[in-house]
Amino acid sequence: MTMLHLDNVTAGYGAVQALKGVSIEVHPGEIVTLIGANGAGKSTLLMTLCGDPRARSGRISFEGRDITQMPTHEIMQLGLAQAPEGRRIFPRMTVRENLLIGAQVAGHDPAPELERVFAIFPRLHERQAQRGGTLSGGEQQMLAIGRALMSRPRLLLLDEPSLGLAPLIVRMIFDTIRRLNQEEGLTVLLVEQNANQALRLAHRGYVLVTGQITMAGTGAELLARPEVREAYLGGH
């Protein structure tokens, strides 16, 4: 069964058509990555499936439910969570409050979730009383992922978690994603410019070029494709 299904989705902002008929599928238990250059529409795709902006045409479904026209906050109550582009930490809330607000939608007692996130990212535990805006980039990324995990989502959406981070921290974050997937069966849709690492991590991948999917396949297949190597791996 498909967990997430985008069927011929178009979307954009104003006059800009950022997605021109995109179809992708994510199955339960998978890590799927979406790679593409800056401005290809990767972030728009993640935001569109969260209802902001709304898809102009096509159909989006999550676990068999049509969510194309659902308001954003209702979509996010269905069991998916996003660590968005730019991390969007609440700067004037403490680390702890940032995490607690992630659990609010689920409505259950946040204490066990908080402990779990602190176990995954011990650094957040050390900094829990600190304001979100004072964290380093890597810590903010951990917080963004931790906040998304607080609602115990079945599908985690990650938007460029490696952006602007030191290689060591990128490896640590990618290891964490792999572990969450293997140990807890968390399904992940990962948007990345860092194609090399993303394709090594993912089961399957899609290549997005100016709003259209141009290639699809397993991570290893895509890594081996010369077009992919040339376009996305040249500099790495």
Partner 1 sequence: MAYALQQLINGVALGMIYGLIAVGYTMVYGIIGMINFAHGDIFMVGAFVALITIVLLLSGGIMEGPGAIMLVLLVSMCVTALYGWTVERVAYRPLRGSFRLAPLISAIGMSIVLQNYVQVAQGARVKPLEPIVPGGFTVMTEGTFVVQVSWMQLVIVLVTLAVLAVFTWLVTRTALGRSMRACEQDRRMAQLLGINTDRVISITFVIGAALASVAGMMYLLRYGVIDFYIGFLAGVKAFTAAVLGGIGSLPGAVLGGLLIGLIETFWSAYFSVAYKDVATFAILAIVLIFMPTGLLGRAEVEKV
Can residue 101 be called a binding residue for partner 1 (CB under 8 A)? yes
What's the full length of the chain, in residues?
236
HSE-up of residue 7 (Cα within 13 Å, Cβ side): 13
The residue from 56, 57, 69, 86 that contacts partner 1 (CB under 8 A) is: 86
Secondary structure of 84-99 in the HEC alphabet?
CCCCCCCCCCEHHHHH
The reply on whether position 4 binds partner 1 by CB under 8 A is: no
CB < 8 Å & 24+ apart, contacts of 216-221: 216/24, 219/33
Nearest to 78 by CA among 188, 186, 152: 152
3-state secondary structure of 44: helix
Nearer to partner 1, 81 or 222 (CB): 81
What is the rounded CA–CA span in Å between residue 51 and residue 61? 11
Nearer to partner 1, 72 or 212 (CB): 72
Least Å from the CB of residue 59 to partner 1: 21
Stretch that binds partner 1, among 82-90, 117-125, 195-203, 221-229 (CB under 8 A): 82-90
Number of residues that bind partner 1 (CB under 8 A): 25
Residue 163 engages partner 1 in binding (rule: CB under 8 A): no
Which segment (57-65, 87-95, 165-173, 217-225) binds partner 1 by CB under 8 A? 87-95
Identity of the residue, 51 or 205, whose beta carbon is nearer to partner 1 in the bound complex: 51
By C-alpha distance, which of 183, 109, 102, 115 is closest to 148?
Answer: 102
Q: Does 112 bind partner 1 (CB under 8 A)?
A: no
Q: Which residues bind partner 1 (CB under 8 A)?
A: 50, 52, 71-74, 76-77, 81-82, 84, 86, 88, 90-93, 97, 100-102, 104-105, 147, 151
